[in-house]
Amino acid sequence: MEKLFGVPIGQLLAYLLAIFAVGGVFFAYQALRHPVVFKLGVRNIPRRRAQTALVVLGLMLGTLLFSASFSTGDTLTHSIRVNFIRALGQVDEIVQSEQMNALGRPYFDIAQLDGVKSALSPLDLTEGIAPIAQERAPVVSPSTGLSEARADVLGLDADAMTSFDPLVDAQGGELSPAALGQGEAYISAELADEVDAKAGDTLHVFLGPTPTVVTVKGIYEGGAHPAQEKSLVLPLAQVQAARGNQGKINGIIINNKGNEIKGAAHSEAIAAALKPALDGSGLKVEEVKKERLKQADQAGSSFATAFLLFGQFSIAAGILLIFLIFIMLAAERKRELGIARAVGMQRGHLVRMFAFEGAMYSLLASAIGSLLGMAVGWAMARVMMVAFQEFDFKLTYSFNWRSLALAYAMGMVLTFAIVLIASWRASRLNIVRAVRDLPEPSMSRRSWRGLAMAILIAVAGVISLIGGLQSEQAALFNLGASLVIIGIPLIGRRLGLPDRAAFTWAGLGLVAWWLFSDRLLDQVLPEFKVGIEMFFLSGIMIVMGAVWAVVYNSDLLLWGIVKVFGRIKGAPPVLRTAVSYPMSSRSRTGMTLAMISL
């Protein structure tokens, strides 16, 4: 896997490690400058082992998902590379005609081979250059009556193929093209299975109006050739004669120095050297190995990206869980924190104390999560192996150390960022109320700061709406509409609208917009471009709207439940008591509902 979200893995890892390093240096500096606060922060980790284990398990969710996604992407990338290389072997480039007709690539004079060799000899980057004649033709087995409509027929020059990987049979023996006599052929194991052929059988290959009769001399499992799985190998002269193209070929295969992977690194230089020699000849160079490896990397990256996109709900739930864990820790230690403030500790010290504790949790959780993610990726690979068996695709588990480091860095940076926000939130307490363990008073709804924030949300929504209309992007347009739906009730709330009315209208508006807007606006608005990001955005907005509507109307819901179940003896007081505690802290209850819903 070379890219994630279009960004090279190495570049993304460098950025995250830089952030991690800066944060680590700042953390160490603060710990040295405030050693007492550091000790107060980390002392709870060994003292409360059960709590520490639960916190670490909660914090590692995001890292585990990152690691599992990268592990799966690396496995697919490696497996696709292996399957591509198995088909291509040491063939790195192919010189062939720029044109394509109904019969395949047109033939050209074999004299072009000398020009290719002359152009590449000064570079000294190749180990072999060989002419081929490649056709696609039906193959029939007269003895079994079975056939293959599109088999690859390869005409190889035995002398030129000595620098390429040999064909190999099931026992590991080499099948040399030089050993083929007139009317003899090697066939692939896949073609042998298709037509139920074995060594010594006769096959009819329809390279022309009359079939070419060949005898199966051997069956190969692998080797270096640019053909599909269902293929057969004949002497070059026999394919040329069958097509009436004596002295002509339709391809020149090139084997670069280096192994199957590293050889592709020379493709660009070889293509540049051949370009002047091929200008005006109607031929071109195809960097087949490099392109196949690129396709493998893109496939692996795409799968990892898709896995992360679908897993964003889990990541969002993990973020809420991290925030909720530290809010709950602060609530549990409220009196302790109030006493600390009463004896002289400043609010900044409380933030540092929670940040120190959270940093240690994050270091442990990211390490455990990244390692467990590898195990989850391995388990997923085992499951996919069974699924891919039907497609004759061999899946091999693989994990890159860069992906492990990237998963750890992403998990650590994400987790610690949420920890800092939660630490700041937890530090906002009244000393007297904290010492007496009394609930904090509600914040003023009519502050200028709150009104400015509500107006900013609405304005940002309008800008996003306009941008979505102009670019015809569904995500941008719907995000803007959602911000407007949220912003207007929040402005009304700052101007005196009750909380219930503001959040109920905002919540129901979000749910209604995301469920029904497409049907209502299809006739009015242009056709938008829709991507996979809508999957995540719609889910987040619907859950947020539904949670708001439920949390701010819990008394009405309780009234309805009591009406339905009120005839059961003893049920009404039990129900009222059960709901009273969760509703005493709407923020914690809302985050819990949203986390479970996601």
Give the model confidence (pLDDT) of 288-334 as tens digits. Answer: 888 878 877 777 777 777 777 777 777 787 778 777 877 777 777 77
Pairwise CA distance, residues 579 & 598, whole Å: 22
Of 354-358, 375-379, 432-436, the poorest mean pLDDT is in 432-436
Weakest mean pLDDT among 114-123, 214-223, 361-370, 556-565: 556-565
Which pLDDT score is estimated for 523?
66
Average pLDDT over residues 87-109: 79
Q: Which long-range contacts (CB under 8 A, 24 or more apart) does 444-452 make?
A: 445/493, 445/494, 445/499, 446/494, 446/495, 446/496, 447/494, 450/494, 451/491, 451/494, 451/495
| pTM of the entire predicted model | 0.64
To the nearest 10°, report the CA torsion of 340, 341, 347, 351. 20
Tell me 400's DSSP state.
Answer: -
Give the tens place of pLDDT for each residue, 186-212.
Answer: 998 888 999 999 888 999 999 878 888
Query: Which pLDDT value is given to residue 203?
Result: 92
Number of H helices, E strands in the chain: 22, 15
pLDDT digits (tens, 9 = 90+) for 240-289: 888 888 889 888 888 888 777 777 788 888 888 888 888 888 888 888 88
Cα–Cα distance list, 531 to 304, 309, 311, 346, 475 (Å): 16, 11, 16, 48, 8
Q: pLDDT-based confidence at 545, cuts 50/70/90? A: very high
The percentage of residues in the chain with a pLDDT greater than 70, rounded to a whole number, is 91
pLDDT, average across residues 529-555 = 85
Q: What is the pLDDT of residue 103?
A: 64
Q: What is the distance between the alpha carbons of residues 198 and 114, in angstroms, rounded to a whole number?
A: 38
Measured over the CA atoms of residue 104, residue 109, residue 110 and residue 111, the dihedral's sign is negative
Confidence of residue 447 (pLDDT cuts 50, 70, 90): low
Give yes or no for residue 225 having a pLDDT over 70: no
Burial category of 229 from C-beta neighbours within 10 Å (exposed 0-12, middle 13-18, buried 19 and up): middle
User: Residue 120: helix, strand or coil by DSSP?
Assistant: helix
Residues 6+ apart with CB under 8 A from 113: 129, 131, 249, 252
Residue 253: phi, psi to the nearest 5?
-100, 145
Instruction: Give the pLDDT score at 239.
Output: 86
pLDDT of residue 597: 86
pLDDT given for residue 508 in this prediction: 92
The answer on pLDDT for 591 being more than 80 is yes
Least confident of 127-136, 243-252, 316-325, 502-511: 316-325
CB 482 within 8 A of CB 510: yes
**SS3 state at 253:** strand
Structure tokens at 32: 């040295």
pLDDT band at 379 (very low <50, low <70, confident <90, very high): confident
Higher pLDDT, residue 427 or 542: 542
Q: How confident is the model at residue 223 (pLDDT cuts 50, 70, 90)?
A: low
Burial 528-562 (b: 16+ CB within 10 A, else e): beeeeebebbbbbbbbbbbbbbbbbbbeeebeebb
* CB-based contact 244:71 (threshold 8 Å): no
For 150-178, write each residue's pLDDT tens digit: 888 888 888 888 888 788 888 878 888 88
**Residue matched to tokens 């938008």:** 528
What is the predicted pLDDT for the residue at 2?
59
30-84 tens-digit pLDDT: 889 888 888 888 887 888 788 788 888 877 877 888 888 788 778 877 777 777 7
For residue 140, the model assigns a pLDDT of 92
97 in Cβ contact with 106 (< 8 Å): yes
pLDDT for residue 224 is more than 70:
no
More confident residue, 258 or 512: 512
Q: Which residue has the higher pLDDT, 571 or 34?
A: 34
Compute the mean pLDDT over every residue in the chain, rounded to the nearest whole number.
81
The pLDDT tens digits of the residues spanning 342-372 come to: 777 787 788 888 788 888 888 888 888 888 8
